[in-house]
Each structure stands twice: as C-alpha cells, then as structure tokens.
Amino acid sequence: MNIDNELLKIQENFHKLINERAEELVKENNVSLPNISDEIVDKEQWIPIPGMCGGFSYLLKKENGNFQMYVKSWCRVVGGSGQAHTIDKNGYTLTDEGFV
C-alpha cells in the first residue's frame, strides 16, 4: 500500500467532505472513515452512513500523473438530496447537486 503526501491530502479532504455532509451521523454511529491508497485506483468504493439512508460512492483515478477522486453522496431522508464532488490535493469542488 502506497500512501504518498498527495493521497493523504485527498484523504483529509474526503473526510472533511463526509463530515460536512453527515458529521452528526458519523459520530453518532461511530463510522470509521475510509483510508485512501493507490490500491483502490479505478475501483469504485462505497461507504454507507447509518441514518443517512445513503452514503458516499467514490472513485480514485490517476490522470496526467495526479490523483483525483470523484465522489457522489446521497441522503434519502426528508425528501433526499444528492451531491457530486471532485477532490484533489487542494480541496473539493461541488460539481452537481439535486439528484436522487
């Protein structure tokens, strides 16, 4: 497993995003947030969040020598909401919302 500085920053940004969307549920349900490594490149992953009736799907890609993560999250509680984000070492960007 290779975790370089770029992947650690992506992991930190992914954890920030998860907590932005579902911090109370993560803490309440003692959810372990996923570690990000080069072993998951091109392998879509899923982390369910109890109480969210949804969770986060994520896909790590290596493009032009840099890692980038694509994340979609769903919350089906109270009408539902969906968001898509792109994450890199510099942070995350909302790319779509409102689907579910």
Q: What is the pLDDT of residue 3?
A: 53
Boundaries of domain holding 90: 5-97
pLDDT in tens, 29-87: 999 999 999 999 999 999 999 988 899 999 999 999 999 999 999 987 756 689 999 99
How many domains does the structure of the chain reveal?
1
pLDDT band at 5 (very low <50, low <70, confident <90, very high): very high
Q: What is the dihedral of CA 46, 98, 60, 44, to 10 degrees?
A: 40
Beta strands 45-49 and 66-75, pairing class: unpaired
